[in-house]
Structure 1
């Protein structure tokens, strides 16, 4: 499992940090924590996010 950090593209605000197998699973996990079924269920206006793989070692 890899640690990812998802930020809002427009502001750089951190939306989610956590472990996931890949970027898509990280986006889905972020969306679920925000109350949505998955990333595809987010409103279009909220989908502008950047996903960074963190190197903590």
Structure 2
């Protein structure tokens, strides 16, 4: 699979992994719950297509 890299997005993904609020959403997604938030093929969490940027 082709994977595009972007330093900014890579940094956002790393910070998403430590944001408690986003981790709660990730847990719900992994449990199969339907949310507006999804995780794309590059492991970026997005809400309605927009990147979820942690505080």
The structure that is strand-richer by fraction is 1
Same fold (TM over 0.5): no
Q: Which has the higher contact order (CA 8 A, sep 6+)?
A: 1
Q: TM-score, normalised by structure 1?
A: 0.30
Q: TM-score, normalised by structure 2?
A: 0.31
